[in-house]
Structures are given as structure tokens and as C-alpha cells.
Structure 1
Amino acid sequence: MRLSRRGLILGGSALLAGCSSAASTTNLQLAGAAPASLPVLPIPAATPQPVAATRVSGPVIDPHGVVRKDLMERAHAALDTHGHKISRRDRMYLVDFQKFSGEDRLYEVDLEGGWVTAYRTSHGRGSDPAHSGFAQRFSNEMDSHMSSIGAYATAGANWGSQQGPNVLLDGLEYSNSRARERAIIIHGADYADPAFLAREGKLGRSYGCFSVSHADLVPLRERMGEGRLLFAMT
């Protein structure tokens, strides 16, 4: 079958029209032709999100807020600063010299369980010359009879000819470095017993030692041991 020149022209026009339609936004469909199917694009898989690792935290220390916050924070910082001298990290001891001597202000903090046990303790007579019940001055000097602030390391149970059973302390900072020389220790005293407090309304004063009641000395002497932090501040 021979095609005329006119047929070739018409056929070519149709082909050109088809290419133009494919490029345009208007879709033309020939009668009887199957509808063109649109390509199916794959749905991208959701990018897996990193799962945060479960943080295993320790116990909540002092959940009831017995110890004032800045004292607790400073004590934890002292644990890091003097880590080479503090070999035991199961508990630490804090003294809040802002508080009245008749109040509980010596704290045993259990770093493994989180609980806090509070005791009373005396301050030095040189720190409170008016015997107001509040320590106002602090010193590291011999014969000052003042309390010293800062970080100490407990140095174990001891027995002295004057004070009897006690706990030795080593000062770790410039503010208390002469603690052993000054015989600054933890010991029991009549002026720290509940009967004295009930009678006088405040505890008596030491020569700079952390004096406690005779009854409280028993558990403290056993539990303080050696290599634990005692931190005192105002």
C-alpha cells in the first residue's frame, strides 16, 4: 500500500502533536487507548531515631533536704578535689557552722543509700568569745581555741589521756592544715550532752574540737573510721 505525500504529512503532524502533549500539563487520551499509569514511587523508609541510653543514676542524696544545698555541693566538690586523700566514698560528714550550737549541725551522709543522720557538735571558745551559741571566727593558729573550716580526712579511732576515745583528723586545706598539730579531734564531752543543753540552752565550747555527746561518739567513732571526708563551713 502506497501512502500519499498528504498522508505522510498528516502522520508526521500526529507524531509531533503526541510529543508536544507529553511535554505539556494537559493530558490527551486517544479513544480506545488504555489510560497511562503513573509511576509508583517507593515510600522512603522512616529514618530510625537514636534511642537514648538508659541513665543509671545513683541514689537521691538527702531527699528531705536536711542539709543546706550549698554545703552539700561544696562537700561533693571537696570529694573530687581531695580524692587522693579520701579513700572511702561510702559516706561523708558535714558540719554547718551557720547553725546554732543547740541544733543538729553535724551530718553523716550515706552516699550509697542517700539518707542523712544528724548530730549536735560544739565549736571552739575562740570562735564564740561571747558564748552566743554561734561560731563567728575561725582560725588555723595554735592556741587560738577556734574552730577551723574546710576539708578534713578522718584518720581513725584513737584514745587520748585527756579526752579518752576520739577520732583523729587530718586537715587538707590551708584553713585547717595544722589540725593534727593542734589536736583537733572528734571526742565526747559533758558540755555536749543533752543534759547540758537542757540546762544551758546551748552546748558548751571546745578548744576547737568537734565535741559531741558521749552517746553520739559511740556510733560516730565506729563509722567514721579512716579515709572519709569531714567538711565544715559557715
Structure 2
Amino acid sequence: MENLSVVRRQRLKLRTRRMARRVLPFVASLFLATPLAAPVAKSKAATTNHQARLVAAPVVAPATLYNQRLHDLYRELGVEQQGLRYEVFEKAMTGYLNLESEGKLSGKQLLTVVDFELPSTEKRLWVLDLAARQVKFHTLVAHGHNSGENMATNFSNENESNMSSLGFYVTQGEYQGKHGRSLKLQGLDEGFNTNAFSRAVVMHGADYVSEDFIRQYGRLGRSLGCPALPMDQKDAIIEAVEGQTCLFLNGPDAQYSSKYLNQDVAMSKLLGQTQLI
């Protein structure tokens, strides 16, 4: 009986070993196929961080933001439909922001733009209210007698030249002159308009700045260099823009340059403001 029991135990051990050899590979494959908890958590965290980086707001370059804000203001003012080209508006705004940065302007936030690249028969003067985003005035304006006929092509800073002078001006005070109510202008661009005072280049009204004159002669009359205005609007315009506001006279002169066309200064000023744009 004892020998029989020993034989049975040996058979049982042998059977157990065979079963273990069959089961172990299956168990091992299950173990290898199941990922560990810690790596899974780490993988999910890495994926979440990567996705967060992808949805983060992109950084906008200052120059891009500056151009975007100028274009937005240009559209809000609606001046493209009135014939004010963006490149002229951009130059005028650059100078305005430079002058404001130097403390040369009052708090009126008015910008007057004259584009002498347009013929005198077109309304080529704009008074822009930058705070209200409105065009206060859009009207005719004359150029100097020796600057050209209908088109202004010649410009000078010299006394008795009877030509218009391009560039940036800051308006001063009113006075009563031979043309009645008039406005003094201070030219700021050295070599281009700094003789405005000595030449008596001022803003005033004139009968030859009218639609009637255009119908009769095919162009406006011409001044001795002053940006002359229609008689029926000159009082309102002078009253609005007097007292340290910016005036920019643009024209077809490839030689014109200005220290106030510094875009870095303009960019810094505009992007630091909250009122204009």
C-alpha cells in the first residue's frame, strides 16, 4: 500500500509540472500585454501638457499689431471711400504719434491731412477726430501758385517762392489778417517747411476755393503757398483745429523726408495707448 501511494504522488507531481509548463506561457503573455499604471498616468499627463501648449494663444509681433490697429482705425473712419489712400493715412498717423510722443500736441486728438497728390478739383483735405473715429471735415483746399496748375508738382521752403511746403505742421493761434480769420502754422520739417512763419504760410479762406470756381476755370484758384479753404467752411475748420493739432501736407516729392516718420516711436506710442485704438 505504501509503495502504491508513493507511485501516485510521483504521478501527481509529474502531472502538475506538465500543467505548469502549459499555463506559464499564457500567464506571461497576459502580464506583458497589460500596461503598468505609472507609465499610463505619465503618458496621459504628457499628452495633456502637449495639447495645452498647442491651444495656447500665439504671440503677436508688435509690428503686426501696430499695422492691424492702424488698418482698423482707417476702416472705422471710412476715409478710403472718400479718397484718402492708406499709405498717406499711415504717414500722417506716424507723424501724429511721433509729435504726440514729444508732447507737441494738445489733447484734441485731431489730425488734418492734405493730399497734394490729388488734383485741386477733388476734395483733398480731411480733418479726422481720432477719439470719436469720425471725419469732421472733408473739403477742397488750394495749393501755391507756383506749385502747379490743377496738380501740385513743385514745392519749396524758400521765401517768395509762392509754392506750397510739404510736411508736418502744428497749428498755433488765430489772428485777423488780410484774408480775415486766419490760423498760424508752425512747420517742423527742417528744409521743407520751417520757414512757414517768415513766409506767412497760414490757413485762411479764399473765394477761389469753391465748386463754382472749378466749374468756371476747370481747377481751383491758387494761393501764395497757403492751404486756402472754402469761405463757407474756413471758420468752422479754423476753430476746430487751432491750438496745437497736427497738420500733414503730403505731395509727390521723392526728396521729402521727416524725422517724425519714425515708425518705432509711433509703434511704441500707439501700443501703449488705450484711448485711440
Residue of structure 2 aligned with 1:97, choices 111, 116, 131: 116
Looking at secondary structure, tell me which structure has more helix per residue. Answer: 2
Corresponding residue to 1:107 among 109, 113, 126: 126
User: What is the match of residue 17 of structure 1?
Assistant: 22
Contact 1:146 1:207 in 2 (8 A): yes
**2:92 and 2:189 mapped to 1: Cα distance?**
13
The alpha-carbon deviation at position 77 of structure 1 amounts to 1.3
Report sequence identity in percent.
28
Q: In the TM superposition, what is the alpha-carbon distance from 1:50 to its structure 2 partner? A: 4.4
TM-score, normalised with respect to structure 2: 0.67
When Rg is computed on C-alpha atoms for both structures, the one with the higher figure is: 1
SS at match of 1:101: coil
Distance 2:223 2:184 in 1: 16
Counterpart of 2:13 in structure 1 is 8
1:229 aligns with 2:241: no
The corresponding residue for 1:118 is: 138
Q: Distance in 2 between matches of 1:193 and 1:226?
A: 26
Using the TM superposition, give the Cα deviation of residue 121 of structure 1 relative to its aligned residue in structure 2, in angstroms.
1.0
* Unpaired runs of at least 5, structure 1: 26-36
Q: Alignment length, in residue pairs?
A: 219
Could you tell me which of 39, 46, 60 is aligned with 2:76? 60
5+ long unaligned stretches in structure 2: 59-64, 252-277
Q: What secondary structure, in the 3-state scheme, does the structure 2 residue paired with 1:159 have?
A: strand
SS in 2 for 1:60: helix
1:72-95 CA-partner distances (Å, limit 9, x unpaired): 111111122322223346321111
Q: What is the aligned counterpart of 1:173 among 178, 185, 189?
A: 189
Question: Aligned in 2, Cα 1:8/1:136: closer, same or farther, shift over 3 Å?
Answer: same
CA-atom RMSD in angstroms? 3.3
Give the AA of the match of 1:61: L
CA distance in 1, matches of 2:193, 2:115: 16
2:244 partner letter: G
Show the counterpart of 2:105. Answer: 86
Assess, with a 3 A threshold, how the Cα gap between structure 1 residues 14 and 38 changes in structure 2: closer, same or farther. Answer: farther
